[in-house]
Amino acid sequence: MNRTGIIQFVLFFVYVLVQVLIFRNLVLFNSAFCFLYIAFILLLPIELNTMALMAIGFILGFTIDIFYNSMGLHAMATVLVAYTRNYWMATITPQGGYDSGSSATIASNGLQWFLVYTLPLVFLHQAVLFFVEAASFTLFWFTMLKIVGSLLFTMTVIILLQYLSPRGRRI
Amino acid sequence: MERLINFIYEYRAFLTFLLLELSCSWLIIENNQYQSTKYFNSSNRLAANILGFSQGVREYFSLRTINEELSRENAVLRTDLERINQLRENYFPTDLDSSKADQYKFVSAKVIANSTNLYKNFITINKGAADGIMPGMAAISNDGAVGKVKSVSRNYSVLISLLNVDEQISCVIKRTNHFGSVRWDGLHQRYSNLLYIPRHATPVVGDTVITSGYNAVFPEGVMVGIIRAADLKKETNFWDIQIELSQDFGKLSFVNVIKSRLKNEKDSLEQLTIVGKK
């Protein structure tokens, strides 16, 4: 494993622990959750192929499921994001393409690109998560409230971390 | 054959995606089935340890409340015990049928993880199979019913909280003796719903709702909540009743798991009756 690989491997556990120890207990207004762990999938190196992404996504989601007692739920949402990620990234390629070896961060591609990249994927993740959990559309508006609340909360934390992390890169 | 292999190779990402999502769906459906002894949940030792650590930090800040609650519970129990002793000496000088009197045993356990904001909430506690806990047992606190045991490992168990849209328990309105089911609607952590109370019943706001004891999981008469709103719509067969749960799940720190010694006997008798009818 090269250097990036080792860093990502360590980061995997950091994301899981932060999610489980901190953000699992932190729910705003009874409806806004922060599922920060999805940022791990979003920030993996750009050239990583879809197969690897899905495998990592499945393991990540499944690990989170163990702590949330929700077998398969987070795994399902995360695999979906992992599958969609590269296609979405190809669709929004900036002029001149991505620099080789660059990562999907604000530092290398700018805030505007980053928002276009993350917002729909985080929304997708949370929509799947809450609707599958509810297993029905009977609480449609309450579920939408949870999704939008969580989207804002999660996005705020992801973007803050982008500016706080050293050299604005790896996390 | 070669074309088939090419096809699979070309669409390998999509096919893997389908495969993974299907297995996830299978896991979700499987997990929704009632009671199981699964390993991949928070009764898993490593997961439970991590969650226990997080709960330990949180608990440190609420020690005072927990202590007060425990001492209040002690006082209530002591009063009850004294009263029962008096009654027994006065009215039942001989021993009662011991198999009935010892029907329920309580295992006290500490909550190490709890959620209240999801649609399907679970509670992880620090006692498991080693203390005789089995899937299907009931858990109560000193304020009222808490939930049923879903899965156990050696030292930990996961309870389905009353705040879980899949969980139903059989209850009666104490004053009128009409029975129905309490099921959470997923909205507010302090309120739940009492279903299937027939039109001709007359529930009023403030009535107490207790467990019925019909399924031998919960003993009869465990407090569940108090009716907060009762509404009868035209052309429906049942009342819409909202109850305020007596247990505030946001503050749960200890539970008692109930071992019912007669449950097997009761279940097998009922099974026999059902089979006999056919």
* Site of tokens 């969580």: A150
Q: Which residues pair with B217 in a beta bridge?
A: none
| Structural domain spans, chain B | 45-93+100-165+252-261, 168-248
Handedness of CA A81, B20, A15, A29 (dihedral sign): positive
Q: What are A83-111's pLDDT values in tens digits?
A: 999 889 888 887 777 777 677 887 777 88
What is the distance in angstroms between the Cα of A81 and the nearest Cα belonging to chain B? 10
- In tens, the pLDDT along A105-119 reads 877 778 888 899 899
Q: What is the architecture, at CATH level 2, of domain B168-248?
A: Beta Barrel (2.40)
Helix ranges (DSSP H) in B44-158: 45-60, 63-91, 98-101
For residue A56, what pLDDT band results from cuts at 50, 70 and 90? very high
R_g of chain A, CA atoms, integer Å: 16
Question: What is residue B36's predicted lDDT score, i.e. its pLDDT?
Answer: 55
Band (B254; pLDDT cuts 50, 70, 90): confident
Q: pLDDT per residue over B213-223, tens digit each?
A: 777 678 888 88
Distance CA(A113)–CA(A152), nearest Å, equals: 17
Q: Which of A161-170, B80-89, B97-106 has the highest mean pLDDT?
A: B80-89
Mean pLDDT calculated for residue range B64-70? 80
From the list B28, B40, B185, which residue is nearest A73 (CB)? Answer: B28
Quickly count: other Cβ atoms within 10 Å of residue B142's Cβ: 17
Residue A120 is predicted with a pLDDT of: 93
Instruction: Output B178-186 pairs: Cβ under 8 A, ≥24 positions apart.
Output: B178/B203, B179/B212, B179/B214, B180/B238, B180/B241, B182/B209, B182/B224, B182/B225, B182/B243, B185/A139, B186/A134, B186/A139, B186/A142, B186/B119
Q: ipTM, 2 decimals?
A: 0.78
Pick A68 or B263 by higher pLDDT. A68
Which uninterrupted H or E stretch holds B274?
helix B263-277
Confidence of residue A168 (pLDDT cuts 50, 70, 90): very low
Q: Are B24 and A72 within 8 A, CB to CB?
A: yes
Asked if the model's pLDDT at residue B234 lies above 90, the reply is: no
The residues that bridge with B245 in the sheet, in sequence order, are: B225
Q: Per the CB < 8 Å rule, is B50 touching A54? A: no
The pLDDT of residue B99 is above 70? no
Res B94 pLDDT > 70:
no
pTM of the model: 0.79
Domain boundaries B45-93+100-165+252-261, corresponding CATH code: 2.40.10.340
B168-248 matches B45-93+100-165+252-261 in CATH topology: yes
Domains annotated on chain A, with CATH: 3-168 (1.10.1760)
Give the pLDDT score at B102: 63
Q: Could you tell me if A88 lies within 8 Å of chain B, comparing CB atoms? A: no
Contact B120 A51 (CB under 8 A): no
* pLDDT band at A148; cut points 50, 70, 90: very high
In this prediction, residue B188 carries a pLDDT of 86
* Amino acid at site B179: F
Contact call for residues B147 and B139 (beta carbons, < 8 A) = yes
Which chain B residues are closer than 8 Å to A72 by Cβ?
A: 23-28, 30-31
Nearest CA to A120 among A91, A143, A98, A145?
A91
